[in-house]
Structure 1
Amino acid sequence: SVRAVVPVMEGGKVIAIVSAGETVTNVVASLAPRIPFVIGAAALLVIVGSAGAFVARRFVSRVTGAMRPSELSRMVSYYESVLHSVREGLILADDSGRIVLYNDEAAELLDLPPAAGDAQPVEVSELGLPPTIAALIEGGGRAVEESHIAGHRVLVLNQEPATPPGGSSRRPVGTLMTLRDRTEVQRLSGELESVRTLSDALRSQTHEYANRLHTVVSLLELGRTKDAIDLIAQQVELSQSLADDVVGAINEPALAALLLGKAAQASERGVELRLDIDEHLAPSALGPSDLVSVVGNLVDNAMDAAAGGSAPPWVRVTLTTNDALDCLELTVADSGRGVEHAIDDRIFSRGFSTKPADATGRGFGLAVVRQVLENHGGSIELLQASGTEFRARWPVAKKVGS
């Protein structure tokens, strides 16, 4: 039997004992009907728990790619290392156009705060990105090797849909943008363009003087010495007059040489080049290379337009000091057909041109000019006129430090 004995106390003394008991046979008889229920409930709990564990494991396996916690931890560490070590800026945005993460290089290129590992998605408008880059991220469109200005930097951007592993049939989760700094390359490209412009001008000048020299030699061989002397005197007077006007007004030898060369180039192409330069121009904030790039590209475009326009073709170059705005002002006009209103906003875009492409490509001159000017606090605009007229402004040298 199973018994329990309890003493009865009074005044601290045991006055009686109560004993109760039950035989084992009766206990077994009472519990026997309940055993199947207990076993069934336990079995059901085991089955439900096993099913729940199986479903949970399938879900976790699908989410984590069947990787164990240690493997997940190692993978996250590797990905973080790659993300912050790569020398290209990376920006991942979700399908709502919010920025999910970016690496250290992107933060440096776009002047963003350091990326936090547990940061929540951020609206693009909260980060102060350049308008063109912000619009590209929010739009979620595809971009291939697009150039954008971010402060003083020139960035080349690519953007593609961010698709999870498993094939292109899976729905993209957002977009991935890569950024590369091309400021130094662009600077070298501008210098190369400046050298090319100068070399073309010098080539035209050499060709012009070669023609005159051949004429003088022929006159001497024919015994017409006086005519040869008169031709030399006339050409020297014209050249010296132009050189005196240009060199006397411009205190930058490279720019003076460029304009003299362009005068010879214009004469070779049958275009009248009119130069109107203020005496004693203020010093320019642009360096020699940038000056040659800006003036050379604008004059080249103007001569191309004038040559294809109505006769007589002409190009007018005006360079003055704007005392009211404390800047230098360059105006380049031509007798060409002008620019259609429909493309006014596109002519400064990289790669856009109204002229057929050649071996070196087209559509970079005006883009380079605008970039150079904006990098130095200047500007350029298209003025509506009978032909084409551009006006460029940039600070004088004393504004460099301010």
Structure 2
Amino acid sequence: MEKIMKRLLNVSLQVKILGLIISLILLIVGLITTTFVILESKEDIKKAESIALQTAKTLSYMPVVHETIISNDQSEEIQSIADHIVGEVNASAILIENRDGRLFNEVPSSILDRLSNDKHKYRTLVFGSAYATNVGDGADALLIGMAPIYIDYGMYGKVEGTVAVVYKMETIMEDIAADTKKILIISFGVLLAGIFGGVMLTRSIRKDTFGLEPIEIASLYRERNAIIQSIKEGIVAIDSSEKFTMMNNSAKQILDIKTKVKGQSLIEVFHSPRMINVLRSQSENNNVELEYNGKTIIVNSQPIKEGSEKLGTVASFRDKTEIQKMVNTLSEVKQYSEDLRAQTHEFKNKLYVLLGLIQLEKFDEAMQFIKVESKYQEVQADIIFNHIRDEKIQAILLGKIAKASESKTEFIIDSDSSLSKLPGHFELLPLLIIIGNLIDNAFEAVSKVKEGEVSFFTTDIGNDIIFEVVDNGSGIDEKTVPFLFEKGFSEKGENRGYGLSNVKKEIESLGGSIELQYLGEEGTIFTVFIPKRLKQTKLGKGDESLND
């Protein structure tokens, strides 16, 4: 039974709506028809009673009827009058009788048989009452209007007879049935019109829903919400009245919005005139950069239009800071790759030199070259592999040694350096950004100085891990020191100035600090202090509810 019910309910939206419309029309038409039939029946019976009674009274007052009762003679005139009135009022029969029950006109025997007793005229003969009554039951029932024939004898008056106007109930019911048939024909026409209207309505709804069923629409709605919320790019939707209909979690994070915005107006949520103007625009906007809550945000907006009417706006947001961070990260990875390439290239060049010396049979020079290079490598290897035990720092320093060799820069790793394996929260990329940028800046600083030298020192004695990079370059202008770690500040040209800014950001994310000691024209010292234990100063922010 349950399976059958599920199958019956598992029908298309068109069938459901059409079935509901037909059911409602049938119910309404049925109720109206039933009500009308009942009221019409009562009205027709009441009307028949009224006509029968009034006709009987009228006949009872006629002089010719009085004369006939007094003379006790049946006349053709009485018969003619009775037949005429029967035709006029559409009655079944008229009975004109005296007190003794003598009839003065002809009456069908079928009616006389039903009126075989005198109970129906007792009240009229005894009390002189005029009334309407029913005689018999079911199909044989008769409706009778009774009136007394009152003869005035001067000194007194007397009821000498009765007039009865008779209606067969079956005749009245036939009239009611005829009226009911008309109503049913009209009702059937209404039903057909309703079915036609229902079909047109369901077609219109199906067209508006692109032929999708409610379960498919619900599924699409859930998928749409899931997709929008999973997108890392911020997305908002605004209707024609400038009220928010949707904002995903990424948009709330980018725009620093912590409350629900659905149903709120544009000016209630945003307080930036430029942001509001972009979202109100009647035309498409692409890659508009604007400042909002201290962030540089890239906005794309697309108005939703039907003809020339604007129905709403959809906009996307991207945090340029995050994009720049990603670009910087890719740059650092590229730089790391270049360092490794330089290391490979340097060793390859040395191998070619050694091969050349051997081919020229200059074995003494080859041996001397191997000894010098071996000694240099032993010193570097001893410091890197015996004093510095963290593989990530080793990899970074090996790459920088190769880069320094390729660029003919003297790069020295302080022999007093000592570093144990770093804690797990020290990842390769932040270390590459910190150490790599500082060493590269030092290489650049000594590139135009004769006998330029860059040294690196690290230690983990105490509670902090310390990295120090020293160069003997031309130094830093004292006026630029306050701006040195600001994003985008650089004296090296456009699209520069992100290295030290990223260094500071990564150091601060690890809970550390950086110090700068400038020696005028004699060089610069950068010292980084990072605690071994990560201090959790901020709790992570959970995702907002999806129901926005």
Q: Are the aligned partners of 2:418 and 2:458 in contact in 1 as well (CA < 8 Å)?
A: no
- Post-superposition shift, 1:301? 0.6
Query: Residue 331 of structure 1 aligns with which residue?
Result: 468
Which one has the largest radius of gyration? 2
Deviations 1:163-190, CA, capped at 9 Å, x for gaps: xxxxxxxxxxxxxxx9634576455434
1:345 maps onto 2:487 in alignment:
no
Any unmatched runs of 5+ in structure 1? 1-73, 88-103, 125-133, 138-143, 160-177
Q: Residues 3-402 of structure 1: matches in 2 within 5 Å?
A: 75-76=240-241, 79-81=243-245, 84-85=246-247, 107-109=252-254, 113-114=258-259, 117=264, 145=289, 155-157=295-297, 180-181=318-319, 185=323, 188-276=326-414, 278-281=417-420, 283-284=422-423, 285-309=425-449, 311-321=450-460, 323=462, 326-357=463-494, 361-386=495-520, 387-396=523-532, 398-399=533-534
Looking at structure 1, the residues matched to 461 and 422 of structure 2 have their Cα atoms a distance apart, in angstroms, of 12
Matched to 2:534, the amino acid is K
User: Structure 1 264/148 Cα, relative in aligned 2: closer, same or farther at 3 Å?
Assistant: farther
Residue 250 (structure 1) shift: 2.8
Structure with the higher fraction of residues in helix conformation: 2
Distance in 2 (CA, whole Å) between partners of 1:115 and 1:185 is: 27
Question: Which stretch of structure 1 is more off in the superposition, 280-289 or 331-340?
Answer: 280-289
- C-alpha distance in 1, partners of 2:516/2:439? 14
Shift of residue 335, structure 1, vs aligned partner = 1.2
Distance 1:246 1:109, change over 3 A: same
For 1:275 and 1:148, how far apart are their aligned partners in 2?
45
Residue 219 of structure 2 corresponds to which residue in structure 1? none
Distance 1:243 1:145, change over 3 A: farther
Give the partner amino acid of 1:208. Answer: E
Give the partner amino acid of 2:259.
Answer: P
Counterpart code for 2:253: E
- Give, in angstroms, the shift of residue 298 of structure 1: 0.8
Change (3 A) 1:145 1:239: farther
Shift of 1:220: 1.1
CA gap of 1:301–1:320, structure 2 versus 1, over 3 A, is: same
User: Between Structure 1 and Structure 2, how many residues are aligned?
Assistant: 267
Return 5+ residue gaps in structure 2 as ranges.
1-238, 276-287, 300-315, 538-548
- AA of the residue aligned to 1:75: S
**1:335–1:388: 8 Å Cα contact kept in structure 2?**
yes
Please give the root-mean-square deviation of Cα atoms over the aligned residues, in Å.
3.9
User: Cα offset for 1:147?
Assistant: 8.9
Relative to 1, partners in 2 of residues 1:146 and 1:303: Cα closer, same or farther, differing over 3 Å? farther
User: What CA distance in whole angstroms lies between the structure 2 residues aligned with 1:147 and 1:315?
Assistant: 40
Q: CA deviation at 1:247?
A: 2.1
Contact 1:273 1:316 in 2 (8 A): yes
Work out whether residues 263 and 273 of structure 1, in 8 Å CA contact, stay in contact via their aligned partners in 2: yes
Aligned CA distance change for structure 1 residues 272 and 148 (closer, same or farther; 3 Å): farther
3-state SS, counterpart of residue 243 of structure 2: helix
Is the Cα–Cα contact under 8 Å of residues 147 and 350 in structure 1 kept in the other structure? no
Q: What is the CA distance between 1:251 and its match in structure 2?
A: 3.2
Are the structure 2 counterparts of residues 282 and 202 from structure 1 closer, same or farther at C-alpha, using a change threshold of 3 Å? Answer: closer
8 A contact 2:390–2:421 mirrored in 1: no
| CA 211–333 in structure 1, closer or farther in 2 if over 3 Å, else same | same
Check 1:334–1:147 CA distance in 2 against 1; reply closer, same or farther (3 A cut): farther
One-letter amino acid matched to 2:427? G
CA contact (8 A) 1:282 1:321 kept: no
Mapped partners of 1:381, 1:145: distance in 2: 34
1:394–1:185: structure 2 CA closer, same or farther, 3 Å change rule? farther
Give 1:328 shift.
1.3
Say if 2:485 and 2:501, in contact at 8 Å, map to a contact too.
Answer: yes
Matched residue type, 1:316: S
How far does the alpha carbon of each residue in 1:120-170 deviate from its partner, in whole angstroms, 9 at most, with x for none?
989x9xxxxxxxxx9xx9xxxxxx8589998xxxx53369xxxxxxxxxxx
